[in-house]
Amino acid sequence: MSRFGKILDIDLSTGKIEQENMSERKIRQNLGGFGYNVETLYRRIEPGIEPFDPDNMLVISRGLLTGSVAPSSSRIHINALSPLSGLIGSSNVGGVIGFRMYSLGVHSIIITGRAARPVYLYLRPDGVEVNDARHLWGLDNRDTEEHLKKDVGAENVDMLTIGPAGEKRVLFACIMAGWDHAAGRTGLGALMGAKNLKAIVLQAEPKKEKMNSERADVIRQYVAQMKNSGSRYRDFSTYGSSGDILETNQMGMLGTRNYQEYQIDNVEQIDGRQLNQFVKKKSKCHRCPNHCKAEIELKGAQYKGFKGGRPEYETIIDLGALCGLTDPEALLYLSNLCNILGMDTISTGSVIAFGMELFQRGILAPEDTGGIKLSWGDAQAMEAVIRQIAQRQGLGDVLARGVKRAAEIIGRGAEKYAYHVKGVELYGGDPRGMMGIALAYAVSMRGGDFTSVYPVPEFRYTAEQAEQEFGTRAVVDFTATSGKGAMVKKCMIVSSIIDSLGLCKVPALSVIGDFSLEMEARLIQTITGLDISPQALVWIGERIVHMEKIFNIRQGGSPADDNLPEMFLKSPIEKGPIQGRKVDLAPMVQAFYQSMGWDENGRPTQSILQKFDLSE
């Protein structure tokens, strides 16, 4: 077996399973993880394939360092043609599932076809089984996990599962890895449902790696970088990302009541400092010193005894402020209900907020909602709609398609209030607050999203750092457009590398905040023996971004996709700390294209294709 693991190619239509070894050549070309997935889709998905066609493939890969002794090396990446956007679908998840893949010697699982009946995959050291899952169909994620653990009757088992939302092909259905690790955003759970694939179970004894003095030294340095970051390490270790809510509200950037407002009263109730009272136990992903996850238990009469996971920053905004909800227990319950049913929390909050604004404006009436009064902050109404969405019933059947398609169905001016990029709902931070974030939303390959670009230098770098790296201090000026194209290019490239290595971006980019890739290059060398310089990593990362762009163009993407909803471009923020601000997007998009070596329509030039061996 290759030291980089094996690739399993599984056709659910025929039951045929092929296997090959991951080669060093492929690793040097794309590192694995996200990079391998993008290249696989780039090479194998033909133009004209629809997301729910059996020929669409789900590619699940661990990063080059996933499961190793590298700190925070928990991540796997999942890619496909997205049911939500029709473009590249991408999701990243931690926990221990990547460690199971590593222990099994599996680098990638490529799934094509469609099973004739519901099935689950069972990966063990002695092979792969395709097993009947008809008895699991209709179960939520928690019940599915419980039943499967009894079915296989083995220890050292973890799994990826879908709930009713995936089975019903809710276009923003997610894939769960345990109770509180979601591969969300682009509807890949719906693709599993379309393939009649209920779960992927991995059973493997933990694989131990030898530690030598060189490895130990590099690991100590990486962990020291985290812990020496001061308040960032302390805050993420204490509150996760949920501790940033209060700050975003103070800045006047907290999307509230579907972006009608920019701050919300009683915001402290849903900030991580307040949510800490419900934490029963800290938790973490494989080999992560950051410990940003937490298990919660609710205390109040309505939800007393309910257990789940603490939500992240984006979830709190979209299910909280965006819907006008500041009841902390209701928010915790609803975010976990989405996980149980298998729906992306960001898109779920966005479609509910969209529905609430339409109800407020009279575009939706009680007869359209089945009698549900979609009032701001009404947790009972939100729960009812969440359950409707998961079962594709009533208004939920419309909202299950995402705000773009829902607005087209509803009509009557609903499109004006549907906030998305490339069909993927925004994450809730108002893009008028920071121009770099606005650009990142617009040009993100997977749609309106922060984490696939991660433009933190805009609010983390000093003016001196910005000038040294990007040639202008304007990069750290939230109101300026200058330098943002080059900054977003760098962040997108580094983000693709971190995802291809299987490292977590929270410690690497949020806590440490080092975009040089020098420490990552050292980790690669000491753990794998491959000598890949930071400059070579940048080349690989840029090549991945070009492949994503070409893939999107082949699937019908156009320059019009690299845009923001009209409101953010034309309507200034009306009050608060950043009153008067709107987004001057076009020059930033053109600067980004130029920085990437693309033409004015965002198409890679012939010289770029030749430089990155993509001329075909």
pLDDT at 393 over 60: yes
pLDDT at 186 over 90: yes
Q: Which distant-in-sequence residues (6+ apart) come within 8 Å of 35 by Cβ? A: 29, 496, 497, 499, 500, 540, 541, 544
Q: DSSP states of 505-571 as a string?
A: HIIIIIII---S-HHHHHHHHHHH-----HHHHHHHHHHHHHHHHHHHHHTT--GGGS---HHHHHS
Predicted pLDDT of residue 546: 98
- DSSP annotation of 429: B
> Which of 180, 175, 215 has its CA nearest to residue 192?
175
Bridge partners (DSSP) of residue 123 are 128, 202
pLDDT at 78 over 80: yes
Collapse the DSSP code of 347 into the 3-class scheme (helix H, G, I; strand E, B; otherwise coil) and give the result. helix
Tell me, letter by letter, the H, E, C secondary structure of 366-398: HHHHCCCCCCCCCHHHHHHHHHHHHHCCCHHHH
pLDDT interval class at 392 (50, 70, 90): very high
Quote the tokens at residue 324: 């006008």
Provide the sign of the torsion angle of the four alpha carbons 590, 591, 592, 594, taken in this order.
Answer: positive
Task: Report pLDDT digits (tens) over 158-174.
Answer: 999 999 999 999 999 99
pLDDT interval class at 291 (50, 70, 90): confident
Residues 270-284 have a mean pLDDT of 94
CA gap 596, 316 in Å, rounded: 34
Predicted pLDDT of residue 1: 57
pLDDT interval class at 305 (50, 70, 90): very high
pLDDT at 47 over 90: yes
- DSSP annotation of 254: B
Average pLDDT, the chain: 96
Task: Report pLDDT digits (tens) over 61-71.
Answer: 999 999 999 99
Task: Report pLDDT digits (tens) over 508-533.
Answer: 999 999 999 999 999 999 999 999 99
Predicted pLDDT of residue 346: 98
Percent of the chain with pLDDT over 70: 100
pLDDT interval class at 209 (50, 70, 90): confident
pLDDT at 10 over 90: yes
Task: Report pLDDT digits (tens) over 188-208.
Answer: 999 999 999 999 999 999 887
Residues 305-324 have a mean pLDDT of 97
CB atoms within 10 A of CB 574: 10
pTM of the model: 0.97
Predicted pLDDT of residue 2: 75
pLDDT at 297 over 90: yes
Predicted pLDDT of residue 598: 98
The answer to whether the CB of 511 falls within 8 A of the CB of 226 is yes
